[in-house]
Structure 1
C-alpha cells in the first residue's frame, strides 16, 4: 500500500504547547523498538529502501518502505510476525528479516534490482531505534457538518450523498515521536529523535494538508524529508546531515502527451525534490554552504517554472512568489559572505595574500539561513506547493491542451530576450565594472527576480540565461534528446562562465570596499580585478556559441 505522510521537526519553544495537543484523552502511547537492516555497503539505502523489524506494543512487524514520489508518498509493506519465532531469534541474537515475503508482486518491483537470496546473506543489523510514540486520530469536522445537513435534507441527491460519505472517511493519524537512534555495533553512539508526523489514514488529501498547515502555523513546525532510516545511515557513517541535493532531471516525469496541468505539476515536483532535502538539512542545523547554494538554485528553478508556466494551471498561487523571493534573498545575503570567508579567503592566503577577518561582516547579517528556512511563511508555502503537486491535474480546464503546444512560444520569447541582452553586454566598454554599485549588484545576485535592475546589461544576461537554461531543461524530455542535449551543454557552459565573471566582480568589489578600513584587502581587490578581462573574453565566446546555433524546439 502507499503511505502518504508529512514529517516535521518541532522547535523546543513550542514543545509544551504541542504536547498538550498530542496527549489528549483519546490519544494512545506505544513503545516501539525497531531493528534496521542493510548490507555493509548500504545498498538498500542507496536504492531509497528502508527495511526493519519493529516491536509495536505486543506485536512484531516487518516493514519495507521504498519508492513513492520522493516527498510525501512512499510504498509501504507491513507483515505481522509470529511472536514466538521472533523471541527465539532474539534469544539467539539472530533476529533477521524474511525476504521471502517480498516475492509478493505488490512489493517485488521495489527489490527488482536485487537477488533476494544473495541479499539475505549480506544483510546485517545496522542500527536500532527506541521510540515512545503518542498517537491520536483526527477526523474532518466539516464532514460531520455535512452529515448533519444530509440527515436534515431528504431531498439531497445521490451525488451529494456520495460526496458526504467520502468526506466522512477523512481521517489522519498524528504521531509524536521522542526517542533515540542507536548504532548497531556501539550503543554509546546515538542521536535524539524528536518529530511529529501526519499520516493520511483515509479520505481526502485536502484534510491532511489543512491539518498540517494549521499545526505548522500554530507550533512553527519545520518540514523534514529525513526518514529514520536515513538518519540511521548517517549515524553509521558518523555524519549529521546528508550531502546537498542537486537538481536531478531523471526524475522529471513528463513526455509529449503531458497536458499543461500535468507538466507544470511535474516541473514544480522536480524543483521540490531539490528544495526539500536541502531546506530540511538547514532547518535541522546544517551550516554547510552547499546546502544553502542548492536550496537557492532550487528556488530559482521553481520561480521560473511558476512564472513561465503560470497559464498552465488555475491552481497556482501568485502569493508564493514573494515568499520564495524573500527566502532566496535572505539565504544569498549570508551565503555570499560565508563562502568568501571560508573558501575564497583561504585560497588567496595560499597565494601569499595577507590575512583578513570577515567575522564582523558576517555577524552584521541578522537573519541566518536557519532563520530564513524556519520562517513560518516559507514552511507554509512549501506545504502548499507539495499539495499542489499531489492534486489532480485532470480536473482543470487546461487538461485538454498539451504542454508541447505551448512550450515553443515560451522558449522562443526567452531566447529572443537573451539574444538582446547579449548584444547589450557586447556593447559595454571592456573595463565596465560598476565598482560603486556593490549594494545593487549583491541584491540582484541574491534575489530570484531582478526586474528593477534590468538596466544593468550583466544582470540582464545572467537572468535570461538562467531562465532559458531551466526552461530548456523542463522542456527537453518532450523533444529530440540529441538536439536538446547539445543546446543545454552550450547554455550550461555559458552560464558557468557568466557565474565566474560575476563572482569575480563581486569579490573584487567586496575587497575594494573592505580596503577602506583595512589596506590588506587591496591584495584581493587587485587579484580579482586582474582576472576580469580573461573572464569577459571567455564569456563572450561562449555566449556567441548560443547566438549562432539552432534551437531544439
Structure 2
C-alpha cells in the first residue's frame, strides 16, 4: 500500500505549545525501538529503500519503504512478526529481517533486481532509533449536507534519538511531527497540515529516519545537495496541459524540497543554497510560462517564491565570496580582505528565509497541487504539445533579440577598456547597477548581460520541460549549445557581482582594489567567451 504523509521539523520555540496540543486525552503514547538494516555498502539506501524491524508497544513489525513520488507518497509494506522468535534473536544478537515474506506482495517489484538470499546474508544492523511517539487521530466533522465524513489523519509526534548500530556513543536527537492520511480526501490532509504549520511555524522535511541513519554512519550532518533530475520528469507527447504543469511543478519540487530540508535543519552549505536557488528559478519560470495551463495555479505563489530566492541570493553571493573567492585571490598574492562583518550585516539568513511561514505554506500548497486530479480540469482534453511550439519560439526570439543587443554593445564599445560594471549602486547587493535609456537603446553591459542571461535561462528550463515530448536526437545539439552559453554567461554575471563587491569595499579598505582589478581583467576574457557561445545559438536548429 501507499502511505501519504507530511513530515515537519518543530522549532524549539514552539515545542511546548505543540506538545500540549498533541498530548490530549484521546492521544496515545507508545515507545518504539527500531532496528534498521542495510549492507555495508548501503545497497538498499542507494536504491531508495528503507528496511527495519520495530517494536511498537508490545508488537514487533517488519517494515519496508520504497518508491513513491519522492515528496509525500511512499510504497510501504508492514508485516507482524512472532514476538518470541524476535526475542530469541535479540538474546543471541542475531536479529535479522526475513525478506522471503515479500515474494508475492506489492513490494516485490522493488526487490526484483536483488537476489534475496545473497542480500539477506549481506545485511547488518546499521542504526537504531529509540523514540517516544505520541499519536492523535484528527477527524473531519460532518459534511454540510449532514452525511458522515470519513476524513481521518494520524498525527504522530516523535521525540527521541538515533543511535549508531556499532557505536552507541554516536547519537542524534529526533524531534519531528508527521501527518499521515488514514482515510478520506487529500484536501483534508493538506488543510490540517497548514493549520498546524501556521500555528507552530513547522518546516517541511523530506529527510527520513533511514536517511538520517545513513548520515550518522557516514558522520555527516546533511545529505549532498540535490540537482534537477529530468529523468524523473513524467511527461510525454500524450500529456494534457493540466497533467504537464503538475509534472513540471513536481519535478521542480524534487529539487527544492531536499535542499530546503537541509537548510531548515541548519545547513549553510553553498551547494544547498545554490541548488535551492536554481530549483526556485526553474519553478517560477514554469509558473510564469505555463500560467494558463491550469485554473488551480495560485498567483500568490510567485511573489513569495521570488522573494525567498532573492533573500538566498543576497546571503549566498557574499558568503561564497568570503569562503571561496577571497581565499583564491589570496593564493594569487592579493592582500587579505575581511568580509566577516559584511556577512553578519545580512539580516535574513538562509534558515530564516526558508523557514518563513509564508514560504513553507506555499510549498505545502504546491505539493497539494501536484497531487490533485488533473483530469478534473476544464482543459484536461488539450495536449501540451500543441501549445509548446509557440511558447518555445517566443522564448527563442526574445533570447535572439537580447543577444543582438549584446553584439551591438560590443560593436559600439570596441575601444572600451572597462568590460565590467561601470556604475555604482549600494541599494542592492545582487543586481548590477543598470543604465538603460529606452529612448536611444543605450545601456551598460551589466544591463544587457542580465537580460540576456535571464532569457537564456528561461529558454533552457522551458526546453528541458518540453524536450520529452519531442524526438531526443533533435534536441541533443540544442542543449549542448545552450548549456555552454548558460555556463559562460553565468560565470560572467557572477564575476560582475564580485567586481562590484570589491569596488564598493575599496571605499573603506584600499586593499580591495586588488580584487576589483583582478576581475576587470577576468571580465574581458569572460566577454569574449560569452560572445562566442551566444553566436552558436543563432545557428541552433529548433527541436520542436
| Partners of 1:352 and 1:113 in 2: CA distance | 55
| Partners of 1:444 and 1:407 in 2: CA distance | 31
Q: Alpha carbons of 1:271 and 1:440: their partners in 2 closer, same or farther (altered >3 Å)?
A: farther
Spell out, residue by residue over 1:311-334, the C-alpha distance to the aligned partner (whole angstroms, 9 max, x if none). Answer: 110100000000001100110000
1:433 shift after superposition: 2.9
- SS of the counterpart of 2:68? coil
Task: State the partner residue of 1:463.
Answer: 454
Task: State the partner residue of 2:484.
Answer: 493
Q: Does the 8 Å CA contact 2:407/2:531 hold for their aligned counterparts? A: yes
1:485 shift after superposition: 2.0
| Partners of 1:224 and 1:326 in 2: CA distance | 21
Spell out, residue by residue over 1:269-293, the C-alpha distance to the aligned partner (whole angstroms, 9 max, x if none). Answer: 0000000000000000011011011
Task: State the partner residue of 1:77.
Answer: 77
TM-score by length of 1: 0.94
| Partners of 1:186 and 1:291 in 2: CA distance | 29
- SS of the counterpart of 2:379? helix
| Partners of 1:20 and 1:316 in 2: CA distance | 36
Q: Does the 8 Å CA contact 1:8/1:224 hold for their aligned counterparts? A: yes
Spell out, residue by residue over 1:200-229, the C-alpha distance to the aligned partner (whole angstroms, 9 max, x if none). Answer: 000000000000000000000000000000
Task: State the partner residue of 1:10.
Answer: 10
Q: Does the 8 Å CA contact 2:34/2:129 hold for their aligned counterparts? A: yes
Task: State the partner residue of 2:439.
Answer: none
Spell out, residue by residue over 1:48-102, the C-alpha distance to the aligned partner (whole angstroms, 9 max, x if none). Answer: 1000000000100000000000000000000000111111111111010001012
Spell out, residue by residue over 1:404-427, the C-alpha distance to the aligned partner (whole angstroms, 9 max, x if none). Answer: 000001100000000000000111
Q: Which moved more, 1:519-528 or 1:399-408?
A: 519-528
Q: Does the 8 Å CA contact 2:499/2:520 hold for their aligned counterparts? A: yes
In the alignment, structure 1 residue 195 sits paired with structure 2 residue 186: no
- SS of the counterpart of 1:94? coil
Unaligned runs of 5+ in 2: 434-441
Task: State the partner residue of 1:68.
Answer: 68
Spell out, residue by residue over 1:164-183, the C-alpha distance to the aligned partner (whole angstroms, 9 max, x if none). Answer: 55xx1110000000000000
- SS of the counterpart of 1:245? coil
In the alignment, structure 1 residue 260 sits paired with structure 2 residue 241: yes
Task: State the partner residue of 1:434.
Answer: 421
CA RMSD of aligned residues (A): 1.5
Task: State the partner residue of 1:344.
Answer: 325
Spell out, residue by residue over 1:336-388, the C-alpha distance to the aligned partner (whole angstroms, 9 max, x if none). Answer: 00000000001111111111100111111100000000100000000000000
Q: What is the total number of aligned residue pairs between the two structures?
A: 528
| Partners of 2:426 and 2:205 in 1: CA distance | 34
Unaligned runs of 5+ in 1: 151-163, 447-453
Q: Does the 8 Å CA contact 2:450/2:493 hold for their aligned counterparts? A: no
| Partners of 2:365 and 2:304 in 1: CA distance | 12
| Partners of 2:497 and 2:8 in 1: CA distance | 37
- SS of the counterpart of 1:470? helix
1:439 shift after superposition: 4.4
Residues 199-278 of structure 1: pairs in structure 2 closer than 5 A? 199-278=180-259
Spell out, residue by residue over 1:401-455, the C-alpha distance to the aligned partner (whole angstroms, 9 max, x if none). Answer: 0000000011000000000000001111254533324447744489xxxxxxx97
| Partners of 1:344 and 1:40 in 2: CA distance | 38
Q: 1:313 aligns with which of 285, 294, 297?
A: 294
Task: State the partner residue of 1:509.
Answer: 500
TM-score by length of 2: 0.95
Q: Does the 8 Å CA contact 1:33/1:131 hold for their aligned counterparts? A: yes
Q: Does the 8 Å CA contact 1:332/1:445 hold for their aligned counterparts? A: no
Q: Does the 8 Å CA contact 1:260/1:401 hold for their aligned counterparts? A: yes
- SS of the counterpart of 1:310? coil
Task: State the partner residue of 2:438.
Answer: none
Larger relative helix fraction: 1
| Partners of 2:86 and 2:448 in 1: CA distance | 69
1:20 shift after superposition: 1.0
Q: Does the 8 Å CA contact 2:421/2:432 hold for their aligned counterparts? A: no
Q: Does the 8 Å CA contact 1:271/1:301 hold for their aligned counterparts? A: yes
Residues 378-417 of structure 1: pairs in structure 2 closer than 5 A? 378-417=359-398
- SS of the counterpart of 2:380? helix
| Partners of 1:103 and 1:486 in 2: CA distance | 45
